[in-house]
Amino acid sequence: MRSRAHFYVVIILVLYAHAVSADEPRLTAADVRRAAEAAAREQGYDLEVYTRGEPWFDPVSKIWGVDYRLKSPHPGADRRGVLSVSVSDTTGFTSTTFWLASPTPAPPASTPSNYKAVFYMIYSLCGAVLALTTFERKRTRSPWAQLTFMLAAFLLLLVGTSELLRHYRIWTLSPQMEDGFSHTLIVLRGVVLGFFLALAFSGELTGRKIASDEGPNQALQPTAGHSDV
């Protein structure tokens, strides 16, 4: 029974690691800004006469984009030049396109995809389930395993809640803080994964079943020195 439980746990952890790695882009917004500026200057564009927009990322095509809107000397001009720079998140290659657009603000960021929100809700749900597991009375675990479960539950709730707030733009950060906080959440996901692996390989993931005639504290007491009468 325990070997089967470990088998399922390994599958879940592999899927979890795959979802995390596929969900997060490899480049950061700061990396994209540097690559876009270098590509534009290499093509001979003077960025002093452009207003740069914020980088955006398409998770389907794995492409970043940065738009530079030309500062028009005539406020009433009907059309204004826009320099678009695309950066591949996989290869880092760049491409530039110059086109004309109406002098309206840059288009808003794409609507958040629902599948990401589902992953974030799963993180929060798993955190809540783990928190309840620490109060289980039918099985017992070592003190360090109990503490690990509590930390994993807290981190999952923190990651899931933070990602949901950022996903629906309820909580917005400055570009500098956004980059740092995104990396922090990635590190926390890795910490949670390490906690699960430690629990799985130590045999503390499923815990030990408590006999009906002993309490949780008795199950942890050593049996050395006891003899049958």
Check residues 9 and 139 and name the one with the higher pLDDT. 139
Give the end of a domain, one of 49, 71, 101: 101
Q: Are residues 158 and 177 in the same domain?
A: yes
In this predicted model, what pLDDT tens digit does every residue of 92-136 receive, in sequence order?
788 877 766 555 454 455 555 677 788 888 888 888 888 887 787
At residue 161, the pLDDT reads 92
Q: Are residues 172 and 119 in the same domain?
A: yes
Give the residue numbers spanning the domain of 127: 111-206
Q: Are residues 67 and 145 in the same domain?
A: no
Using alpha carbons, list the distances in angstroms from residue 75 to 60, 71, 72, 100, 173. Answer: 37, 9, 6, 15, 31
Position 163 in a domain: yes
- Strand pairing class (94-101; 208-209): unpaired
Choose the weakest-confidence range: 9-13, 55-59, 221-225: 221-225
Question: For the chain, how many structural domains are there in total?
Answer: 2
Position 12 in a domain: no
Q: Are residues 125 and 77 in the same domain?
A: no
Position 173 in a domain: yes
In this predicted model, what pLDDT tens digit does every residue of 208-229 receive, in sequence order?
887 665 555 554 455 444 444 4
With bands split at pLDDT 50, 70 and 90, how would you rate the model's confidence at 154?
very high
